[in-house]
Every structure is written in structure tokens, then in C-alpha cells.
Amino acid sequence: MVNPPKQIKISIIGSRGIPAKYGGFESFTEDLSQALLRRGYVVTVCCEYTGSEKVETFNGVHLRYFPLSPPNSYVLRKIYEIINDIYFIALLSRTQDILYILGVGTAGWFTFFPKILNIKIRIVINIDGLEWKRGKFSVIERSLLRINNYLAMRFADITIIDSKSLEKYIDIGKRKTIFIPYGIESIDTVSWDNDKLKPLSDRIENVSTIIQDKYWLVVARLEPENNIHIIIEGYLSSNSKMPLCIIGDYTSKKYMASLSKLKDNNRNAQLILFLGPIYDKTILNMLRQNCFVYIHGHSVGGTNPSLLEAMSMKNIILAHGNEFNREVGGKAFIYFENSKDLSEKMIKIEENKTAFDRLKRISYQRVIKNYDLENIFNQYDKLFKNI
């Protein structure tokens, strides 16, 4: 009698947990965990404890929680994240076949430890872009992140990069580096309905100025490396009469204050709408599918999930002209380098949008061809089974 194949036990560490309520890593973790479950894996996702009731499973995926809730202080949260990752690495190393660590910004140096507890375990890391180049970090933090990144790649069995442009930043272990980007699945069309925006009006003024196909849209965390300040400066210089809607949370009160200051004494300031994070997918997708133009300012990541989603929704995309965005968009995007350049291109598009409508189709076809989600999951399945 032939024994059935062993179920591979894999734990995903480094996101805030599922169901997704924060950012790209969380959405990716939720999708990947479900895909692995369908392929016969035993999947565990490590979660932060938010103080609410601990649910042991989510759609068949096992959930493990860090004992403490995250602090509000920025400095304490960084320490919390380091201890969080170390806790789960130590806790799960003996019982798992694979640890998949998302990001190495905190406890990457600790990736040597699982092999001490379990010589057969395999460590896979996703370096998540160039963490050490993020403007929100101090010089000391960036230096530590650079060292941390190096050590993580040294000890890991496999390093995953989500953008080919990241290859030149790999200092060690190139032979064990694999390119697997993020993917996208088809998203249902959401018809425009003004009533869906009413929940936003309770906390945000001028929501009534958001009219179908008559607003610029940004979906990003409000951080310096996402160039929100450049986008606001470019928008104000363009003198556009359509509102600029910015969806996303912030981590730095100082940076958020600097963005608010940009609005001071400007007659178009009331048209800049900070909508905050929107977790209701129906509202979020409606806004993404019906914007005039989608503006993407990310500059130090790899393949950004929110950019792929914007492409799948057939948007005209104005993107920061860095190597990562150019790899994803090719000739399907319009690129800007600074606020002046952005302003000029916003004016040009607003004067004759129909001249750029063909980019919607090109962008959509490109994302469907290169970033199909099931194909991405098949690549993960092949990798995990091979190692």
C-alpha cells in the first residue's frame, strides 16, 4: 500500500494577520494562505493580538497570536515587531516544515535560529523592496535595516524578490534568489452609487465633491517614499478643479502635519480629501474603478499590489518614474519625476483625456498577462514542494 504524500506544514510570519485589515502584506497573506490550503498544505498565519476575541481558524487556516497588543508609540511598535517575529520564529520552528517570513525589517538577523531547533526546516524570506531606503526611517534605522537584510539573506534557504529590478540590490545569496511577483485576480465591477459614500461624510468634509469620473485618486500609506507630498504639490500647481482623493492611513504624525501644511493658504486646498483607510471593498473598488486618473507615487518597493489592482480596473495611471514602476507598467503608464513634471502631465491629461484612453486597455492586458494570481500561486506551490 502506497502512503499518501505528507502534508507540508507552513507558517507565514511578518504580516499583521488575517483577515486583512491593514495593507498589501495582509491581503497577500490572506490570498496565499487560501491558495496553499486548496493545494493540500497545513497553513498557519501569525497575527497581532488586537484585544478582541481570538479566533483559532479563518477559512481553514490556523491562526496564532502574539500575547500582547501593539503599542501606539512608533518606537515601541518597532520593538514590538522585532519581539513579535522572534516569538513566532522560536515558537513554530520545531513543528513546521517551512517558515515563510514576509519582510526582514525587524528580526531578519534571527533567521539562523530555526535551524538550531529543527535541522530539516526551510526558511523562505520575502525582502519586500528596499526597506533601508524608506524616508520614514532615521539614518541609524536605515543602517540597521541594511545589515538586517544582509543577514536574513545569508541565513535563509530561499530569498523571494517580487521585482526583477531588486536583483541588483542582492548582496549575497543570488543563486538562491527567486523572482515571484505579487498577483491579481479579476475584481467584480461596482456600479457608481453616491449613497455608498455617505458613511465617509460623517468624518470627512466635501465628500459631495466626489463625482464619478471627475476626481484624481491615490491609494497609499501616507509615507515620504510614497511621495504624497510631491503628488499634492503637483496637484496644487495644476489648478485642477477636480478633487484629489487620497485613501490611506499614516504612521508619522510629523509627515501628516507637513502634508496638511501644504494645503494652507491655497484656494484649491478644500479639494484635497484625505479619506483615511477604507476597508470596505465595495466602496474602495467603486472609487478605484471610477476615478479620472489613478496616481501612484510608490518609489522604493518592488511590485506593489495596489498598483496591480489599479491596472486591473482599467485606469489611466500616472506613476512615479522609478525602475520598479517602469518594470510593472512598461509603456502602459504615464510617468512623472517631480511635482512640476506631474503638474504638467495632469494639465495635459485634463485638456484631452481621450488621447490617453488607450492606455487603459494596454495596462489591463499587461497585468492579466504578467500577474495572473493563480499562476503566481502555482509558482509558490512548485517552490515550496521543491525545497
- Let me know if residue 139 belongs to a domain: yes
Domain limits at 256? 194-370
pLDDT of residue 138: 66
- Looking at the structure, tell me whether residues 34 and 154 fall in a common domain: yes
Name residue 216's beta-bridge partners. Answer: 244, 293
In a domain, 2, yes or no: no
Kindly state whether residues 294 and 211 are assigned to the same domain: yes
216 plus 164 within the same structural domain: no
Give the CA radius of gyration of the chain. Answer: 21
The verdict on residue 3 lying in a domain is no
| CATH number of the domain bearing residue 262 | 3.40.50.2000
Q: Does residue 189 fall inside a structural domain?
A: no
pLDDT at 129: 62
In a domain, 334, yes or no: yes
| Per-residue pLDDT in tens (0 to 9) along the chain, 387 residues | 555 568 999 999 988 889 877 667 788 899 999 999 999 999 999 999 887 778 899 999 999 999 998 888 877 887 888 888 889 999 999 999 999 998 776 667 788 888 888 889 999 988 876 565 565 666 766 677 777 777 777 888 998 988 888 887 776 656 788 999 988 888 889 999 999 998 888 888 889 999 999 999 999 989 888 999 999 999 999 999 999 999 998 877 888 888 888 877 676 778 999 999 888 889 999 999 999 999 999 987 778 888 999 999 999 999 999 999 999 999 999 999 999 999 999 999 999 999 999 999 999 999 999 999 999 999 999 999 998
Question: Is residue 246 domain-shared with residue 170, that is, in the same domain?
Answer: no
User: Which amino acid would we find at residue 104?
Assistant: V
Q: Looking at the chain, list the stretches that DSSP marks H as alpha helix, in order from N- to C-terminal side.
A: 24-38, 74-92, 113-117, 139-155, 198-201, 228-238, 253-262, 281-289, 305-312, 323-329, 339-351, 358-370, 373-386
- pLDDT value of residue 119: 86
In this prediction the pTM is: 0.86
| 199 shares a domain with 158 | no
Q: How many domains does the chain have?
A: 2
Q: What pLDDT score was predicted for residue 199? A: 86
Residue 123 β-bridge partners: 99
Residues 293, 245 share a domain: yes
Residue 343 domain flag: yes
The answer to whether residues 58 and 176 belong to one domain is yes
> Cis link prior to 4 (omega < 30° from 0)?
no
Asked whether residue 221 falls in the same domain as residue 147, the answer is: no
